[in-house]
Structure 1
Amino acid sequence: MSMQRVGTRQEWLAARLELLEAEKALTRQSDALARQRQALPWVKVEKPYRFETEQGGQGLAELFRGRSQLLVYHFMFGPDFRAGCPSCSAIADGFDGVRVHLANHDVSFFAVSRAPLPTLLAYRQRMGWSFPWASSLGSDFNFDHGVSITEAQQRAGTGGYNYQSGRHPMDLAELPPPVVETAACCGTDPAGFVRERPGLSAFARQGGEVFHTYSTYARGLDALWGMYPWLDRAPLGRNEQGMWWRRHDEYDA
């Protein structure tokens, strides 16, 4: 740990006030982005997606659980995975605390993955979570919402991700070692691992119809990582050299 410049309290206060102005500007920009996000046109969902849930087979409208809004976290957990993505798992550690508040503000929450429902529920039990999780296996839901691609798309480099068309960096024939290691810890091969991608999608229900209102991917999910807002305020910040995080039951005591 290298020592930062040491100054007087007066020097610190002057620098802190300068930073405060920048923080306020960022907050105002974030508020403006939220308004722009909410002003996006809604797109009617025409396809009859089906999901396997703990209550049986259900359509997208039923995931709203009687509320007018639905947030879906696209959790990377493919049909051949034996465990969920550790990055998605780190994000999911915050779901149970938040979803109670969402539910009392007219917003339902679901995680959705392509793994079979029994596999998802077994992993949820291992991790000590209780949020609702649905399997979209056999549905086009993941593919239509940009978080899964086919083997053919992967080979041709036409899958795209995060609104970018063409070959994605994760479609390379030789993937970086951290990706290979992460695939192994999920019990799948690297190519199969990167055919699943993380994301968040929002939906609205109005007049018996369902609308897709928003989706975000990649670093658009940064705000959902519960640890990062804390690390961004710690003395050394994120201080990352590679993928340091683990599933919460895999850290050394």
Structure 2
Amino acid sequence: MPNRKQSSPEIVSNEEWEVALNQLLIKEKEVTRARDALNAERRKLPMVKVKSDYEFQGENGNVSFLELFGGRRQLIVYHFMYAPHWKAGCDGCSWVADAMTHPAHLHARDTSLVMVSRAPIDKLTQYKERMGWTIPWFSSFESEFNYDFGVTTAAGEKHGASVFLRDGNDIYRTYFTGSRGVEYLGSLWTYLDLTPFGRQEKWEKSPKGWPQTEPYVWNRRHDEYDL
């Protein structure tokens, strides 16, 4: 609990709180409608045909790009940062993976979700078991996939999410997001956004005296917190 001598939200009656809450909910609804409009615009984006054939290594052997779809029309690929020489996967990407939905809900809408990384499949399998994940994870170690889609560059590994549409045996890339765009894939951030302290990072506008740290220094893999 913050020190009451430090700046904090005003304490009011329940009636006053409901008035303030309803005013905020009006603004939240505006943001929701704006996001609906943005989603509609995203659905109208042009798409580009994937011309190369890629092969990936999975837990049960090699698979083609087409096989990643699992027979479905749509595919979401999360580009998980895990370079071949790393001892563990990216902690931020691990947050995203922790919050991934049960695939049955996506399958009901003709959509598959997989993760792809450059690390060899044995490393991915070991880390997946450690984290307790069930999302399919494939290695692009022996292909140019990461380079062609801009998530491995001369500067190093990048995270992101690519969306693909299948028309028969033809594959098209329809969307990509990286950086903070992936936060909406990992609800842990959006849960924290609901709380009074927020993410507790210095870039946020919070009352004076609220607990805050630099970003990216506090988050851990879920089995590494000292709680």
The TM-score, its normalising length taken from structure 2, stands at 0.88
Gaps of 5+ in 2: 202-212
Partner of 1:200: 161
Count of aligned pairs between the two proteins: 209
Alignment partner for residue 250 of structure 1, among 218, 224, 227? 224
Alignment partner for residue 126 of structure 2, among 119, 122, 126? 122
Give the distance between the partners of 2:95 and 2:223, measured in 1 at CA.
11
The answer as to 2:80 corresponding to 1:75 is: yes
Partner amino acid for 1:233? L
The TM-score, its normalising length taken from structure 1, stands at 0.79
Within 5 Å, give how 1:1-253 maps onto structure 2: 1=2, 2=6, 3-95=8-100, 97-150=101-154, 154=155, 195-240=156-201, 241-242=213-214, 243-253=217-227
Partner amino acid for 1:4? P
Q: Which has the higher helix share?
A: 1
**Stretches of 4+ aligned residues off by more than 3 angstroms:** none
Give the distance between the partners of 2:164 and 2:58, measured in 1 at CA.
18
Gaps of 5+ in 1: 155-194
Partner of 1:161: none
Give the distance between the partners of 1:64 and 1:48, measured in 2 at CA.
14
Q: CA-atom RMSD, angstroms? A: 1.3
Deviations 1:153-176 (CA, angstroms, capped at 9, x unpaired): x3xxxxxxxxxxxxxxxxxxxxxx
Identity of aligned residues (%): 44
SS in 2 for 1:250: coil
CA contact (8 A) 2:99 2:188 kept: no
